[in-house]
Structure 1
Amino acid sequence: MLRKPLLIFAVCSVLSACVSTTSSGNKTDGVGLTDAENASYVPFQSTYKIPDSPAYVVRGATILTGTGAQLDDASLIFSDGKIQAIGSDLDLPESAVVIDGSGMWVTPGIIDVHSHMGVYPNPAISSHSDGNEIVGPATAKVWAEHSVWPQDPNFEKALAGGVTTAQILPGSANLFGGRGVTLKNVPSITMMGMKFPDAPHALKIACGENPKRVYGEKGGPYTRMGNVAGYREAWIAAKEYDKKWTAYEDKVNKGDESAEAPGRNLEMETLRGVLNGEIKIHNHCYRADEMANMIELSKEFGYEIAAFHHAVEAYKVAPLLAENGICGVVWADWWGFKQEAFDIVRENAALLEMAGACAIIHSDDEIQIQRLTQEVAKVLSAANDMGLEMTRGQVIRWVTYNSAKSIGLEDKIGSLEVGKNADVVLWSSDPFSVYSKAEKVWIDGALRFDRSNKTVRPTSDFNLGIITPEGDRP
């Protein structure tokens, strides 16, 4: 039986003891706080820090900016975690690491808005299956981040595919599956060390077959109309909860010392966060008619939907999605594995783009996350065969800028623009080619992956003593 050196565990223990669990200036826990104080306290805050890194220049590459443009024979300069300049004939900073990008391509870091890394990790065994809280149809109270296993080897595989940011979602068994979390794809002992600072939470909602299948024999919902009734009942309760807390907060703001805080309810706190615009809805929904129903529901209760995921029939309601500012998050060609997944066209994302809607390609899979640009390429090929004449500059946004927009981070990531985070991927060739590989990956300007340098290839603590740096078992 293989055993890891005791030193590894000792080092990990020391590092764990040194990791702060909250940002400076915040209380360390909620013990002894009143309901009102607990309601304003923000637990599980990010402890991620940008590491010190040299300035980098990638010179003479083909750059897809994520804004729709393609720059040929151009250069990119980044330092201090930010993009400093992009274009031709740039003044190079002193002491910068200069990389010859001739024949290579540069894109923003790839963003997967639908991943279960860490909550359905590998090894994929029952003791690691932490993505679905299948105890009732409404479990908005749970947070996916509390299931994330930072040592999941899937994270490093995704990094090698250029993925710098991932939204980790609960599964889709429930009407309300819980909160999703956005993580930076960096090695960390704790989830908080990966958590994207100040990124909004998501709320995972599921339409259609999944809640019916899971709860149909457990007291419901048994039908799609039962699903909708379940959503409405929950939102009615959330509106009442919001009303009580808003009245209390108004009294406190007016200096009323006799104001008594309503009792806290974790389920309702999440739904209230949606009503207040603090939490973004990411809605598992395949069929066009159900997307229209969910839009009606959002108007009835006064909240917004950020995106429909697995939206196989999004092309049928593309103008409706564009009108309501909702992203269609789709696969290139997954279909037919259940009835609601049958009516797909490979041009789905392209037709959303042509209608002026926000199109996104996602993985929902530990293998597909490693080749998201190739998934985009499938749609690009089908779209151009159809005569839509789309460009690489356009479609790279389906896994960069549009993805960032759906998770509320388009001001920080998703495109290579001066002042934005330096999440950068250097590809060996055209990233839409099956022969292209991510050669180097930077997150906030720090080199996190280098295919040619084994010392810059992170591996999970779980792998230490199990695989060698070359990937072989000892």
Structure 2
Amino acid sequence: MRLRRLGGASLAAIAVLALGACATTGSADAQTETAETPRSRALPTGLDYAANPDPYPSTYRGLPRENFAIVGGTVLDGAGRKFENGVVVVTDGRVAAVGDASTAIPAGHRTVQANGRFVTPGIIDVHSHLGVYPSPGVQGMSDGNEATSPNTAQVWAEHSLWPQDPGFNAARAGGVTTLQILPGSANLFGGRGVTVRNVPSVTMQGMKMPDAPYGLKMACGENPSRVYGSRNQSPATGMGNMAGYRAAFIAAQDYRAKWDKWRADGEGSPPTRNLQNETIAGVLDGSILVQNHCYRADEMAMMIDLSKEFGFRITAFHHAIEAYKLAPQLAREGICADMWTGWWGFKMEALDAVEANAALVDAQPGGCAVIHSDDAELTQRLNQEAAAALAAGRRIGLTIPEERAISWITLNAARSLGIADQTGSLENGKRADVVIWSADPFSIYARADQVFIDGGLAFDRMNPAYQPVSDFELGQPGYGLSAANVQQGAR
């Protein structure tokens, strides 16, 4: 095992950020309330308490695409299957067929030769701060932690996201097609994360994944108590952390009850909106997923008890260095563990690590192991971080095939974000997020040769026209620009 710094923190901000970095939809037309319109329908369901459940809608369109078939490569489909000399057929931006060499290729589809190479789903990074802690970072754009109160559930990471962060391009060159951008972990409730498609865009909305559920970043352990205890505020202890969560959920329950009463009896004016309670009420009704920064097994167990007290579900524990100690319970509860392989030792709660953590979580029936980054550099080689976890598992006697381990950065990651019905595996009808690798993706020598997002070519290692640079990089020494990649960078 190796000692590594906490991801996402600049040297200038380490004292705070060790805490911390740790198809298109549109707004629905407003419904006019009449005598025949029940009050209960005057506001939409889903994000129950908002006048508009999607005030910052996705404008994502996808890249130009064509119909094609990838042939001759070794296909790891992300769902546990492996095809030597496989075929992946992509039609209208969707996976149309996956199989062996006998798979029929429709007339008119371009053939992409992948002989001697490997084909996988696009990599999904479930824990990123790209765009909110841009790289290279400066204090003026350190927008990941709203460290002004233990509960900042009212903030949304997408409102800090800078699409020109060059880290998105570097991640794409590492095979990353989808990311969850999260607030930092200074707070008990850090705010909403957003899931984005890794395409060049001028705006956040142009990256925002249509119909992906929001996640609420929560943090347990040392970070919140250290941040606020150092200011002589609560929480200053683990006890204070738990009391703070409970108080917030009690307030959200009360808020929800007031809205339910108003909808039921229609008396008077509706309750005043409260953005903080609105987000936590979304957790209570299941429309917003809980993405919980939590290292220690005992604290994860307490968070599970908290979820039962208030009737919500935890989707994933992030970092989860001691997940191996709690692996059976995590599997029973259907909670994913989003982990590193080699990051540990940077604070007390990160000491009791094993490199086989992901493999041990995966070994449980129903276990959901995920490898994440929390870092602008590690996101470029999540395949290697997964390979290290796979090797560690095999060293302790766990027989894990590569076609299963690839799910740690593909299908399980999609499950952790609530988007497994759309992406994460090469299965019929899913988005055609595909990577062609130069070699076995579990090899340190493997590089992403081509990356497709929704069937559009987003990166090509051999073609500068498909190596977009951000506006931030334009004109910098060492970047040879063509009209093509300038145009793509502006999409």
**TM exceeding 0.5:** yes
Given the alignment of the two structures, is residue 326 of structure 1 paired with residue 335 of structure 2, yes or no?
yes
CA distance in 1 between counterparts of 2:393 and 2:113 reads 33
Residue of structure 1 in register with 2:230 after alignment: 217
Residue of structure 2 in register with 1:14 after alignment: none
Unaligned runs of 5+ in 1: 1-20, 28-34
Q: Choose the corresponding residue for 1:170, options 160, 170, 183.
A: 183
Residue of structure 1 in register with 2:137 after alignment: 124
Which amino acid in 1 is paired with 2:77?
T
Paired residues in the alignment total 440
Residues 23-69 of structure 1 deviation map (CA, whole Å, 9 limit, x = unaligned): 26557xxxxxxx96882312101010134411111101100011111
Deviation at 1:93, TM superposition (A): 2.3
CA distance in 1 between counterparts of 2:221 and 2:382 reads 26
Which amino acid in 1 is paired with 2:240?
G
The question of whether the paired residues in 2 share the 8 Å contact of 1:117 and 1:168 is answered with: yes
Deviation at 1:446, TM superposition (A): 0.4
Partner of 1:40, secondary structure, is: coil
The question of whether the paired residues in 2 share the 8 Å contact of 1:66 and 1:397 is answered with: yes
Q: Choose the corresponding residue for 1:108, options 113, 121, 125.
A: 121
Given the alignment of the two structures, is residue 372 of structure 1 paired with residue 386 of structure 2, yes or no?
no
Deviation at 1:250, TM superposition (A): 2.9
Partner of 1:372, secondary structure, is: helix
CA distance in 1 between counterparts of 2:369 and 2:260 reads 36
Residue of structure 2 in register with 1:3 after alignment: none
Residues 291-318 of structure 1 deviation map (CA, whole Å, 9 limit, x = unaligned): 0000000000000000000100000000
Residue of structure 2 in register with 1:270 after alignment: 279
Given the alignment of the two structures, is residue 427 of structure 1 paired with residue 437 of structure 2, yes or no?
yes
CA distance in 1 between counterparts of 2:194 and 2:400 reads 32
Q: Which moved more, 1:89-98 or 1:374-383?
A: 89-98
Q: Choose the corresponding residue for 2:254, options 240, 245, 252.
A: 240
CA distance in 1 between counterparts of 2:286 and 2:397 reads 39
CA distance in 1 between counterparts of 2:477 and 2:215 reads 35
CA distance in 2 between counterparts of 1:93 and 1:457 reads 29
Deviation at 1:110, TM superposition (A): 0.2
Q: Choose the corresponding residue for 1:23, options 26, 35, 44.
A: 26
The question of whether the paired residues in 1 share the 8 Å contact of 2:185 and 2:219 is answered with: yes
Residue of structure 1 in register with 2:82 after alignment: 70
Q: Choose the corresponding residue for 2:325, options 298, 311, 316.
A: 316
Partner of 2:276, secondary structure, is: helix
Residue of structure 2 in register with 1:39 after alignment: 50
CA distance in 1 between counterparts of 2:341 and 2:480 reads 32
Residues 58-81 of structure 1 deviation map (CA, whole Å, 9 limit, x = unaligned): 101100011111111111110211
Residue of structure 2 in register with 1:145 after alignment: 158
Deviation at 1:259, TM superposition (A): 4.6
Deviation at 1:155, TM superposition (A): 0.1
Residues 298-356 of structure 1 deviation map (CA, whole Å, 9 limit, x = unaligned): 00000000000010000000011011110011101111000000000010000001112
CA distance in 2 between counterparts of 1:392 and 1:294 reads 32
Which amino acid in 2 is paired with 1:168?
I
CA distance in 2 between counterparts of 1:382 and 1:186 reads 33
CA distance in 2 between counterparts of 1:243 and 1:395 reads 44
Deviation at 1:467, TM superposition (A): 4.2
Which amino acid in 1 is paired with 2:435?
V
Deviation at 1:283, TM superposition (A): 0.3
| Percent identity over paired residues | 54
CA distance in 2 between counterparts of 1:326 and 1:362 reads 15
Deviation at 1:462, TM superposition (A): 1.2
TM-score for both structures, normalised by structure 1: 0.90
Q: 1:94 to 1:36 in 2, by over 3 A?
A: closer
The question of whether the paired residues in 2 share the 8 Å contact of 1:53 and 1:79 is answered with: no
The question of whether the paired residues in 2 share the 8 Å contact of 1:373 and 1:399 is answered with: yes
The question of whether the paired residues in 2 share the 8 Å contact of 1:52 and 1:80 is answered with: no
Tell me the C-alpha RMSD between the 2 structures: 1.7
Residues 246-301 of structure 1 deviation map (CA, whole Å, 9 limit, x = unaligned): 222234xxxx4x45211100000000000010000000000000000000000000
Which amino acid in 2 is paired with 1:61?
G
Residue of structure 1 in register with 2:370 after alignment: 360
CA distance in 2 between counterparts of 1:341 and 1:106 reads 35
Deviation at 1:382, TM superposition (A): 1.1
Deviation at 1:468, TM superposition (A): 4.7
CA distance in 2 between counterparts of 1:469 and 1:305 reads 44
